[in-house]
Chains A and B, each alone.
Chain A
Amino acid sequence: MTRKEIIENIKRTARLYRREFYRMAERPVYWFAMVFAPLLCYVFFTTLMQNGMPESLPVGLVDMDNTVTTRNLARTLDAFQQVEIKQRFPNVTDARRAMQRGEIYAYFYIPKGTTHKANRQEQPNISFYVNYTYLMAGSLAYRDMRTMSELASGAAQRKVLLAKGATEDQAMAFLRPIVIDSHSLNNPWLNYSVYLCNILLPGILILLISILTVYGIGTEIKDGEAHEWMELAGGNIVRALGVKLIPQFVVFWFMGLAYIVLLYGYLNFPCHCGIPTMIVAMTLMITAAQGLGVVFFALLPSLRMGMSFSSLWGVLAISMSGMSYPVIAMHPAVQGLSYLFPLRHYFLIYVNSALNGYPWQYVWTAFLALLLFALAPLFFLKKIKYSVLNYTYVP
């Protein structure tokens, strides 16, 4: 290549950039999707779950016995962190109605004569009703109520043992011979924010990136400027696409940096691999999302189909990542599909590196997968060029 050609190429690229900046500047929707929407989500999800774990979930109490013992029981339950006895009901029907009105997530039922039976060693029966329609609130309420019931039973037995002359230690060892020490690795607080925000924020970023990538290319056809665009790029599709995607990449990269700083720098979520590794993962993730967008456009070269599929994929990715519901438990037909979602690979990187701090050999495949997503458009260059030049916009 001669000197003249190089200068010509640089000029051409510069003109292309100028054109791209003008396009981005005159469409407010770019800035809405690149800056406003991610920031809104960052603020929303981190403030929504700022306590980490929901506290004082309202539960009800139906105490038909109403003795010192049962009142004591209720007070103990109230003192648990996750539940709070908000209402007392005269009967089960009223409690059930309150549950249907959504006022309480669960209720505790103590039938008449419980204390009497317990004192006479006649094994009374108490029960709790948990509304699992609200699975998470239900599970938390269940845990506290079950612990409570175990404690109640233990307290009754302890009373008998102490009366028989056992010491406190002997009584405890008799009551609980096997003790479970539970260790939740690397998230000992069971912090939901750590668990959800780490995937929701990048998930939304991927969603917006892939939609916007299709939008950027598709609007060229829609506005009838595709030929001008390709001409300016000298018929070089790589240059045309590169110049189109790099400015978006830069803005999104800073948005990615923002969530990394927010999560690991400001909120101090576990990050055992160090922030630089996560920045590398985030960078790869953004390129992968752009790659995915380009591939969608190549496969479905119409603006609306491309954008719709990007959104479909992006929203499904949150479920398919295996964060809320493990991939190994999904329907077999869906399990294999999970590899086609960049967020799944990002999730594996996050879990293995940031959360658990495993060394490189356990995550390199996920990095490679993201890289493949980023490089995938290379296989479709001809197709994209053809469709950009020949397709007309279909509303």
Chain B
Amino acid sequence: MKFFYLRYWRESLNDWLFIFNREVRQIFHDGGALLFFIFLPLGYPILYGLIYTTESVHNVPIVVIDEDRSATSREYLGKVDATPDVRIVMDCPNMEEAKEMLRRREAYGIVYIPRSFDHDLAEHKAAHVAVYSDMSSLLYYKSVLTANTNVSLDMNADIKVRLSGNYTNKQDETARQAIAYESVNQYNPQAGMASFILPAVLILILQQSFLLGIGLLAGTAREGNKQHDLVPVERHHHGLLRIVFAKSSVYLLIYFVQSVYCLGVVPRIFELPQIGNPFTMFFFLTPFMISVVFFGMTLSTLIRERENVILVIVFTSLILLFISGISWPGAAVPKFWKAISYLFPSTFGVNGFVRINTMGADLLAVRREWDSLWILTAFYFFTACICYRFKIIRARIKTYKAYREERSRRSQGILTASEE
């Protein structure tokens, strides 16, 4: 009896090894699988990083119309030009010419100082400056407005000091700003684009490339099989758990290496904020990777042809990016879509990774995400097993039917020419 168990374990380990080897061989002999498992996670983050690596928009070209031409207006414009956000490229005589610059896309904003500017200031009336910005990108608007707001606040303070006729420096300071304030940019000190979008994109690349790879392999297996079945009927493919575990361990092995590269090396290359504890990261990413693999295996049972997987997976990347609550604030995602987002490991993966990596959170702070990922892992493990079980049964039924047909044909003595 004891030996029976021993034999059982040896056998299952053998099967496991067989399927493992077969899967590894398949990946490394299949250009498509190599592309998705190896080259996509290697190259894509670099391309994406290059686009955003400048982090923020500086020196947006703007034009000015100075109808006042006073010392104050020149001071104002000089200060605007000196901000890092914008750069004055032309002094236009009138609005029409300024608009022409906008139309030719040589400038993205207009600052208009009316004739009465200095006069109003002298009369202690509010002096208006009109600022127009091109809305083709919100970052133009942000730059143009930030530059002007900062300069106006600064000059306002100076004017206040001049008017109040104080005696001491301390009084001047209070006149400038009765209550001083400071703003602290946390975790992304330069308010940069790459530091903001890249961590989320990295997680998504990892998820999507593995979904693509696993789907592609399943498609290949079905195409290469006589009866178009995912699971071949032969000696080593009969234990459900053996198949599922063997396959998933191959994917996980590659996944681990790619995660170290994507999440550990790429942020270094582009100098993104990275203050997370590597061990916390590892603990957090474990359920993420496992759930993605099982999710991929579940999805892959639905793929009939290998190339279809590209059509099905790729376009969802954008939806997943927006639904994850990074580029569009999670608090503003409608309830319905939020519920849908809980089905995808990337939603929790992105949020958890960003918080650990960029914001230095500990495991306790990402507890909700971590728990959710384990729940997804269990759920997708279950679905993967059900789908594979279904496939195994179907493959056997098919083979059995084929065998029965063959036998009945033979027993009736109808042999085809080739068999004779």
Question: Known contacts A32-B311, A99-B359, A177-B121; is A324 also within 8 Å of B177 by CB?
Answer: no
What is the chain B residue whose CB lies nearest that of A29? B308
Residue B3 is within 8 A (CB to CB) of chain A in the complex? no
Interface range, A side: 35 or more
State whether A153 touches B179 (Cβ < 8 A): yes
Contacts of B50 in A (CB 8 A): 330-331, 333-334
State whether A139 touches B142 (Cβ < 8 A): yes
State in angstroms the CA–CA spacing of A378 and B136 once bound together: 33
Residue A308 is within 8 A (CB to CB) of chain B in the complex? yes
CB distance from A105 to the nearest CB of B (A): 7
State in angstroms the CA–CA spacing of A58 and B191 once bound together: 19
State whether B145 touches A182 (Cβ < 8 A): yes
Q: Looking at the complex, which one of A114, A190, A347 makes contact with B141 (CB distance below 8 Å)?
A: A190
Question: Known contacts A102-B351, A311-B314, A325-B51; is A132 also within 8 Å of B322 by CB?
Answer: no
Total interface residues on B, CB under 8 Å, equals 120
Question: Known contacts A118-B179, A135-B188; is A204 also within 8 Å of B359 by CB?
Answer: no
**B295-325 interface with A by 8 A CB criterion:** 305-308, 310-312, 314-315, 317-319, 322-323, 325
Q: Is the interface of A mostly helix, strand, loop or mixed?
A: helix
Residue B163 is within 8 A (CB to CB) of chain A in the complex? yes
State whether A183 touches B124 (Cβ < 8 A): no
State whether A101 touches B191 (Cβ < 8 A): no
Contacts of B337 in A (CB 8 A): 44, 47-48
CB distance from A296 to the nearest CB of B (A): 13
Residue A303 is within 8 A (CB to CB) of chain B in the complex? yes
State in angstroms the CA–CA spacing of A167 and B250 once bound together: 78
State whether B220 touches A184 (Cβ < 8 A): no
State whether B196 touches A127 (Cβ < 8 A): no
State whether B220 touches A395 (Cβ < 8 A): yes
State whether B104 touches A362 (Cβ < 8 A): yes
State in angstroms the CA–CA spacing of A130 and B134 once bound together: 26
State whether A195 touches B178 (Cβ < 8 A): no
State whether B130 touches A181 (Cβ < 8 A): yes
Residue A358 is within 8 A (CB to CB) of chain B in the complex? yes
CB distance from B320 to the nearest CB of A (A): 10
What is the chain B residue whose CB lies nearest that of A49? B328
CB distance from A103 to the nearest CB of B (A): 10
State in angstroms the CA–CA spacing of A236 and B195 once bound together: 52
State whether B318 touches A54 (Cβ < 8 A): no
Residue A275 is within 8 A (CB to CB) of chain B in the complex? no
Q: Looking at the complex, which one of B184, B361, B365 makes contact with A129 (CB distance below 8 Å)?
A: B184
Chain A, 302-321, contact with B by CB distance < 8 Å: what is the 0/1 string? 11110110011011101110
CB distance from B328 to the nearest CB of A (A): 6
Contacts of B186 in A (CB 8 A): 99, 129-133
Segment touching A, from B28-36, B397-405, B410-418: B28-36
Contacts of B156 in A (CB 8 A): 175-178
Question: Known contacts A135-B196, A211-B314; is A179 also within 8 Å of B126 by CB?
Answer: yes
Chain B, 226-256, contact with A by CB distance < 8 Å: what is the 0/1 string? 0000000000000000000000000000000
Looking at A41, A320, A329, which has the most chain B CB atoms within 10 Å of its CB? A329
CB distance from A301 to the nearest CB of B (A): 13
CB distance from A53 to the nearest CB of B (A): 8
Residue B225 is within 8 A (CB to CB) of chain A in the complex? no
What is the chain B residue whose CB lies nearest that of A223? B305
State whether B130 touches A304 (Cβ < 8 A): no
Contacts of B82 in A (CB 8 A): none
What is the chain B residue whose CB lies nearest that of A45? B322
What is the chain B residue whose CB lies nearest that of A323? B137
CB distance from B343 to the nearest CB of A (A): 14
State whether A362 touches B51 (Cβ < 8 A): no
**A114-160 interface with B by 8 A CB criterion:** 114, 118, 121-140, 142, 145-146, 149-150, 152-154, 156-157, 160
Question: Known contacts A181-B130, A212-B311; is A101 also within 8 Å of B361 by CB?
Answer: yes
Chain B, 83-104, contact with A by CB distance < 8 Å: what is the 0/1 string? 0000000000000000000111
Contacts of B177 in A (CB 8 A): 123, 153
- 12 additional A-B pairs beyond A50-B334, A334-B50, beta carbons within 8 Å, are A44-B322, A44-B337, A152-B179, A157-B178, A208-B311, A304-B310, A311-B310, A312-B44, A320-B51, A329-B54, A331-B51, A356-B102
A residues near B (Cβ < 8 Å) are 29, 32-33, 37, 40-41, 44-45, 47-51, 54-58, 97, 99-102, 105, 114, 118, 121-140, 142, 145-146, 149-150, 152-154, 156-157, 160, 170, 172-187, 190, 192, 195, 200, 203-204, 207-208, 211-212, 215, 218-219, 222, 302-305, 307-308, 311-312, 314-316, 318-320, 322-326, 328-331, 333-334, 347, 351-352, 355-356, 358, 362, 394-395
B residues near A (Cβ < 8 Å) are 30-32, 35-36, 40, 44, 47-48, 50-54, 56-58, 60-61, 76, 102-105, 121, 124-142, 145, 148-149, 152-153, 155-156, 159-160, 163, 170-171, 173-175, 177-189, 191-193, 195-197, 199, 216, 220, 223, 273, 305-308, 310-312, 314-315, 317-319, 322-323, 325-334, 336-337, 351, 354-355, 358-362, 365-366, 368
A-B contact pairs, 23 of them (CB 8 A): A41-B318, A45-B322, A101-B355, A125-B181, A126-B180, A128-B181, A128-B183, A132-B188, A133-B186, A133-B354, A153-B178, A153-B181, A175-B156, A176-B126, A176-B156, A177-B156, A178-B152, A180-B128, A180-B149, A184-B133, A195-B138, A315-B317, A323-B137
